[in-house]
């Protein structure tokens, strides 16, 4: 059977279709855009993709994403940030969402996901031991558990609550208020909703 599209274009569509949230039709539109685009645009995109692994690394303390030439996250090393207040999030991009509210002046801790047995993710895959260590190292007074308002996020929050208490650490724990609709990832919540959620956080 003859190809409906050139092989190279079909391959690009297939690769774009691997991206999360990109269906077949969207992949086709993206591929056609790139085909018609100036070669400088494609070259810039290709370079950015090629360089991302070499130029991005993970902060050894907060597990946020940082530039390869940085030792730790600037949001951690900044003397104006309150190290005794830590927002615990699932993924690095959740930090961006909270920072956009302009309301949070503490530091962050990225778990690297949420507990999800169906996906084979247990507590041992998350950066929980490192969080417990930080509680003592930075004399943390409060943890804001800012996991997503999902079944997995709630399960992770409850596990953290029990784990911190079992560790015998004297720290206040709060959860983002229910301004965030269930099923909406923190990354996609709007700034007003996140601001209210931060202001209305509740203790466990």
pLDDT category at 4 given cuts 50, 70, 90 is confident
CB 72 within 8 A of CB 130: no
pLDDT > 70? residue 86: yes
The model's pLDDT over 8-46, given as tens digits with 9 standing for 90+, comes to 999 999 999 999 999 999 999 999 999 999 989 999 999
- The helix/strand/coil state of 111 is coil
pLDDT > 90? residue 186: no
Q: Which of 118, 42, 111, 107 is nearest to 76 (CA)?
A: 107
Give the mean pLDDT of 147-176.
Answer: 88
Is residue 115 classed exposed, middle or buried when 0-12, 13-18 and 19+ CB atoms within 10 A define those classes? buried
Q: Could you give all domains of the chain from N- to C-terminal order, each with its CATH number? A: 7-56 (1.10.8.420), 68-203 (3.40.1360.10)
What integer pLDDT is reported at residue 182 of this predicted model?
63
Instruction: Show Cβ contacts of residue 40 under 8 Å, excluding neighbours closer than 6 positions.
Output: none
Give the mean pLDDT of 180-190.
Answer: 69
Of 166 and 195, the one with more pLDDT: 166
The CA distance from 109 to 128, in Å, is: 9
What is the overall mean pLDDT for the chain?
Answer: 89
């Amino acid at each position: 059977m003859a190809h409906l599209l050139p092989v190279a274009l079909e391959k690009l569509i297939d690769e774009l279709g691997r991206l999360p949230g990109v269906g077949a039709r969207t992949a086709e539109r993206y591929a056609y855009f790139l085909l018609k685009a100036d070669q400088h645009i494609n070259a810039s995109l290709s370079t950015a993709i090629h360089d991302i692994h070499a130029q991005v690394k993970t902060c050894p303390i907060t597990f946020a994403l940082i530039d390869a030439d940085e030792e730790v996250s600037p949001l951690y090393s900044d003397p104006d940030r309150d190290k005794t207040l830590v927002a615990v999030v699932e993924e690095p991009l959740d930090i961006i969402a909270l920072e956009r509210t302009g309301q949070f002046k503490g530091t962050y801790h990225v778990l690297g996901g949420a507990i999800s047995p169906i996906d084979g993710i247990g507590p041992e895959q998350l950066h929980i031991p490192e969080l417990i260590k930080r509680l003592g190292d930075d004399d943390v007074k409060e943890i804001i558990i800012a996991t997503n308002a999902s079944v997995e996020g709630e399960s992770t929050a409850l596990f953290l609550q029990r784990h911190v208490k079992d560790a015998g650490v004297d720290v206040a724990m709060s959860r983002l208020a229910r301004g965030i609709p269930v099923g909406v990832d923190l990354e996609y919540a709007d700034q007003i909703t996140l601001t209210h959620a931060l202001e209305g956080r509740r203790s466990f």
